[in-house]
Amino acid sequence: MNIQETINKAANVLKKNNIVTAYLDSELLLSEVLKKDRSYVILNSKEILDKKCLYDFNNLIYRRSKGEPCAYLVNYKEFWKYKYFVNKDVLIPRPDTEVLIEETLKIYDEKKGLKVLDIGTGSGCLLISVLKERKNFSGIGIDISKKALKVANFNAKLQQLNNRVKFYNSDIDKFFIGKYDLILSNPPYIKNFDLKYLDRDIVNYEPKIALDGGSDGLSEITKVINKASSLVKKNGKFILEIGCYQKNEIVKKLKDKNFYINKIVKDYAKKDRCIISTKI
Ligand code: GLN
């Protein structure tokens, strides 16, 4: 079978399994098997595939048809301008989280050497992307999951940032090191009860520890706000990702901790997703 026929067949299997991005996923998975990029697959549609390649590809399509996300099948996800290593120990970076990077870059230029803290760093994608854009910044990422930090460290090495970034395995409540000019966080904020209504790709494969915000969805975010309040410098900024219906409650919590609200930013789906505040 040639590339085009193979893709068509696989995309039909995925479509039957309710996967909306059936063609895109098939092209991506085949390019991974061939160790080429997606344009190769598109431009060489008549190339005949050998048995081994078809076997490996069909195996990936089978796993995808059961809901396993592409990012875990190919072990990477593009985020911001970079390719991040991911596995099932970390949340797959979401395009919506890029909003936090855009806002950070709008506020700070290259000149100053700021100290940044990322609370619940996961794959490290947020902190690493900011440090790549601002060569004078240095950063610390903390996470409760040791396994996630292995991934974050690996990504920092891939991006040659080892000398500007450090990761600590710590519960948020037990971290007391340093004072920071900027604190970033994308904490777990989904209501425990709502977890089961997420896409099956998410709920069956992504780490619950990175999603579960307790019974009201606010338990982890509240801890993060309290900690940020004690670790941020006066006039320092706190840039936080939130669930789309949490704005009012979180604004109140921030104000209670002496944060001035600068801006609330929507994500690509026009939902409230990010709060920028300043410690006063
Ligand atoms: N935005 C993610 C989702 O919709 C949730 C991320 C988080 O809880 N921090 O699955």
Q: Is 126 in the pocket of ligand 1 (CB under 6 A)?
A: no
| Residue 121 Cβ < 6 Å to ligand 1 | no
**Ligand 1 centroid vs 21 CA: distance in angstroms?**
20
Which protein residue has the closest C-alpha to ligand 1 atom 3?
A: 211
Whole-angstrom distance, CA of residue 230 vs CA of residue 120: 16
**What span, in angstroms and rounded, lies between the C-alpha atoms of 64 and 138?**
38
Backbone φ and ψ of 251, nearest 5°:
-55, -45
Q: Which of 37, 66, 95 is the last residue of a domain?
A: 66
User: Domain range spanning residue 136?
Assistant: 80-279
Half-sphere exposure of 246 (CA within 13 A, CB side): 24
**C-alpha 223 to ligand 1 mean position (Å):** 17
* CATH assignment of the domain containing 7: 1.10.8
Q: Which residue has the tokens 């390649």?
A: 53
Same domain, 158 and 61: no
Q: Which two tokens stand for residue 80?
A: 């911001």
Distance 269 CA to ligand 1 centre (A): 14
d(CA 171, CA 151): 17
Do the domain assignments include residue 135?
yes
Predicted pLDDT of residue 128: 98
The 10s digit of each residue's pLDDT in 11-57 is: 999 999 999 999 999 999 999 999 999 999 999 999 999 999 999 99
Going from the Cα of 198 to the center of ligand 1, the distance in angstroms, rounded, reads 10
For residue 215, count other CB atoms closer than 10 A to its CB: 10
User: Is a pLDDT exceeding 90 seen at residue 111?
Assistant: no
* Per-residue pLDDT reduced to its tens digit, 185-211: 999 999 999 999 999 999 999 999 999
Pairing of strands 259-266, 232-241: unpaired
What gap in Å lies between CA 219 and CA 20, rounded to an integer? Answer: 33
Is 75 a member of any domain? Answer: no
Considering the domain boundaries, does residue 74 fall inside one?
no
Q: What is the pLDDT of residue 179?
A: 96
- What is the Å distance from ligand 1's center to 99 Cα? 14
Residue 213 C-alpha from the chain's centroid:
16
Per the CB < 8 A criterion, the answer to whether 136 and 110 are in contact is yes
Q: Does 17 share its domain with 48?
A: yes
The answer, yes or no, to whether any atom of ligand 1 lies below 6 A from the CB of 94, is yes
57 lies in the same domain as 138: no
Q: Is the CB of 189 under 6 A from ligand 1?
A: yes
**What's the pTM?**
0.94
Q: In this structure, what CATH number is given to the domain that contains residue 113?
A: 3.40.50.150
Residue 267 Cα to ligand 1 middle (Å): 12
Q: Is residue 45 part of a domain?
A: yes
Cα 242 to averaged position of ligand 1 atoms, centre (Å): 9
Into how many domains does the chain fold? 2
pLDDT score recorded for residue 110: 81
Say how many Å lie between the CA of residue 189 and the centre of ligand 1.
7
Q: Is the CB of 221 under 6 A from ligand 1?
A: no
pLDDT at 162: 86
62 and 111 in one domain? Answer: no
State how far the Cα of 280 lies from the Cα of 278, in Å rounded to an integer.
6
Q: Is the CB–ligand 1 distance for residue 188 below 6 Å?
A: yes
Q: Is 211 in the pocket of ligand 1 (CB under 6 A)?
A: yes
Report yes or no on 73 lying in a domain. Answer: no
195 touches ligand 1 (CB under 6 Å):
no
Confidence of residue 112 (pLDDT cuts 50, 70, 90): confident
Same domain, 159 and 58: no
Mean pLDDT in residue range 84-105:
97
C-alpha Rg value of the chain to the nearest Å: 20
Residue nearest to atom 5 of ligand 1 (CA): 211
